[in-house]
Amino acid sequence: MTNSRYLLTLASLLIFISFGRAAICTAQSTEVPLPAIPAVPDKVTRFPASQVNEFFAKSGTLVPDTRGGHYSIMTIRRDKAGPAEWHHTYTDVIYVLKGTATFVTGGHIIDGKTTAPDEIRGTKIEGGQSQTLAEGDIIIVPNDTPHQFVEVSQPFLYLTLKVR
């Protein structure tokens, strides 16, 4: 799949999470057509694959949290383990594009320090659960959940949607 298709998949997840509603249809249900909604050109954003690839080459925030304060999108390239993290405000939706990693969630952060409002970083997690993430995996880390990448292949590329 192309990076553009990955972004489309993640955008769909973002919409689902942001609105928190889903229509569940069963064989007995009757579908009600929704009215067509025209696109608003100045509110639709497209990132060509070349631009997305540039962001993955160095990591960066593709979409900052300036669009109403509900989400941001980050491209992340890891070549080594990262710090333990905790976010009070954001849920992280992580989609792995390339590589594998051991990801720890839960437990408590050792040597935690506040690095920004509602954000704590530390050296490691004790008492968490480890799992292996690989290309194509999606993991949702609810707010207030410690998490950390402790082992990564080189390079390990993933997209994170930070949703309020």
Residue 26 in any domain: the answer is no
Report the pLDDT value the prediction gives residue 40, as an integer from 0 to 100: 66
Place 10 in a pLDDT band, splitting at 50, 70 and 90: low
Report the pLDDT value the prediction gives residue 131, as an integer from 0 to 100: 97
Question: Rounded to two decimals, what is the model's pTM?
Answer: 0.73
Is 109 exposed, middle or buried, given 0-12, 13-18 or 19+ CB atoms closer than 10 A? buried
C-alpha distances in Å from residue 58, one per residue of 21, 26, 45, 47, 150: 35, 45, 21, 16, 20
pLDDT in tens, 21-80: 333 333 455 677 777 766 666 777 888 888 888 888 888 888 887 756 788 999 999 999
Residue 34 in any domain: the answer is no
Report the pLDDT value the prediction gives residue 61, as an integer from 0 to 100: 86
Number of domains in the chain: 1
**Residue 82: which domain range?**
3-17+46-163
Residue 55 in any domain: the answer is yes
CATH number of the domain to which 53 belongs: 2.60.120.10
C-alpha distances in Å from residue 40, one per residue of 16, 43, 44, 69, 164: 20, 6, 6, 19, 23
Residue 134 in any domain: the answer is yes
Residue 143 in any domain: the answer is yes
pLDDT in tens, 113-159: 999 989 999 999 999 999 999 999 999 999 999 999 999 998 999 99
CA distance 95 to 9: 9
Residue 58 in any domain: the answer is yes
Residue 37 in any domain: the answer is no
Phi-psi region of 136 (alpha: psi -120 to 50; beta: other; left: phi over 0): left
Residue 146 in any domain: the answer is yes
